[in-house]
Amino acid sequence: MVGRARPGELTSAADDPLTAAAWSLLTEDPAAADAVAAAVRRGETGELRAELDAALSRVDKLTIELERLRGELTEARAQARQAGEHRDAEHQQLRRRVSEQGARLRAATDAQAAAERTAAELRAAAQRDLAAAVAERDRERERAESERRRADRAAAEVAAARQAAREARKADEVRLALLVDTLGGALTGLRRELALGGGGPRPADLVAGASRAHPGTAVDSVAALDALLAVPSLHLVVDGYNVSKTGYPELPLADQRTRLVGQLGALAARTGVEVTVVFDGAKVVTAPPRGSRGVRVLFSDPGVLADDVVRDLVAAEPQGRPIVVATSDQAVVRSVRRAGAHAVPSAVLLTRLGRA
């Protein structure tokens, strides 16, 4: 059985629709259906309220989230605006830089073009200057070469003048020496002519049966030449170039003269004979050599052959003095032999000189 409800329990059941509906059903209250309907409505209302509260709570959360999102959106928009402004500023700065770089590039391009034009002008000017310098150098070289040639000619003329002066001085000295020798020879001839100082025939020459080498003979051997060289007062006359060209034709004429005179000097020193050597004077371009001691050196005058001087020397000697003429010129040999002189070939004299 169901007991009766206490007053406190009724109050709480009235407050709770579900409890009231249950109580009504238990007490079999005729209004139980209404109580159940009220409880049902009360339950639905509670659920709705709970759902509403939950929705309101979600709305509050969503409102808070929305406000937060709005703040973030506002901040994002502010950041985006700042970023845009910064981007615009950077874009403007880049545009200015590009413009400045473009201006600099144009200025550099213009400067490069100007520099290239200047370089081209400088190259052209340098080429012109170089061509002018080369031309001037060539002209200077030509002038220097011309000056050098003139200087060489002047030096050659000075040297020729000095050589001519030396040759003239030496020729004068030779002429003076020849003059002294000629004067000495003239004095000797005078002594012989005047029978002074032992000239003329020696006592032994007056002895009957005494004889000297036969004059006018041909001397064809070194032994016969040595026999004549031993004769006192012998005069050896040498046809200079005929002998030197036979002995050493490869030498220049000046060297031939020097060598022959030196050899004749050695022969005169060994034998004590008087030696006269005659050269053609037409081809003498340097000063003739001085005669060695005991050797007389003569040069024919211009237009006069040495052969004629040799003949004159033979003819100038007093009759009876032994004379030997060294030459291979047959015309000279015949003429001097007719005058009483002995003739020795150049080769025989050269062989004898080789032993001196």
pLDDT tens, position by position, 2-53? 444 454 444 454 557 777 777 777 787 787 788 788 778 777 777 777 877 8
pLDDT tens, position by position, 140-165? 999 889 888 888 888 888 888 888 77
In a domain, residue 95? The reply is: no
The whole-number pLDDT of residue 297 equals 94
Between 85 and 237, residue with greater pLDDT: 237
In a domain, residue 272? The reply is: yes
For the record, the structure tokens of 106 come out as 């144009």
- Rounded-to-integer distance, Cα 237 and Cα 192, Å: 19
Closest to 21 (Cα-Cα) out of 33, 10, 12, 11: 33
Q: How many CB atoms lie within 10 A of CB 203?
A: 7
Q: Please work out, in degrees rounded to the nearest 5, the angle formed at the alpha carbon of residue 6 by the alpha carbons of 5 and 10.
A: 75
The whole-number pLDDT of residue 1 equals 43
Closest to 329 (Cα-Cα) out of 249, 246, 259, 263: 246
- Rounded-to-integer distance, Cα 346 and Cα 64, Å: 157
- Rounded-to-integer distance, Cα 212 and Cα 289, Å: 34
Report whether pLDDT(193) > 80. Answer: no
pLDDT band for position 333 (cuts 50, 70, 90): very high
Q: What is the DSSP letter of 218?
A: B
Question: Mutual orientation of helices 17-26 and 7-15 as an angle, nearest 10°?
Answer: 130
Q: What is the DSSP letter of 289?
A: P
Question: Mutual orientation of helices 306-316 and 330-338 as an angle, nearest 10°?
Answer: 10
In a domain, residue 349? The reply is: yes
How high is the mean pLDDT of the chain? 81
CATH of the domain at 243: 3.40.50
Question: Mutual orientation of helices 32-194 and 17-26 as an angle, nearest 10°?
Answer: 150
The whole-number pLDDT of residue 43 equals 72
- Rounded-to-integer distance, Cα 235 and Cα 352, Å: 16
pTM over 0.85: no
Q: What average pLDDT score do residues 276-282 get? A: 89
Helix intervals (H) in 195-276? 222-229, 240-247, 253-271
In a domain, residue 87? The reply is: no
Between 64 and 285, residue with greater pLDDT: 64
Residue ranges making up the domain that contains 240: 212-355
Between 193 and 176, residue with greater pLDDT: 176
Report whether pLDDT(66) > 90. Answer: no
Identify the top-confidence range among 58-62, 186-190, 203-207: 58-62
> Among residues of the chain, what percentage have pLDDT more than 90?
40
Which residues are bridge partners to 277 per DSSP?
238, 297
The whole-number pLDDT of residue 234 equals 93
In a domain, residue 146? The reply is: no
- Rounded-to-integer distance, Cα 31 and Cα 20, Å: 10
The whole-number pLDDT of residue 112 equals 93
Give how many domains the chain has, as a whole number. Answer: 1
In a domain, residue 229? The reply is: yes
φ, ψ dihedrals at 277, nearest 5°: -115, 135
In a domain, residue 150? The reply is: no
The whole-number pLDDT of residue 284 equals 63
Do residues 328 and 354 make contact, with C-beta atoms less than 8 angstroms apart?
no
In a domain, residue 320? The reply is: yes
Three-state SS across 127-157? Answer: HHHHHHHHHHHHHHHHHHHHHHHHHHHHHHH
Between 39 and 311, residue with greater pLDDT: 311
pLDDT band for position 341 (cuts 50, 70, 90): very high
Closest to 296 (Cα-Cα) out of 285, 282, 317, 283: 317
Between 130 and 172, residue with greater pLDDT: 130
Lowest mean pLDDT among 26-30, 119-123, 206-210, 250-254: 206-210
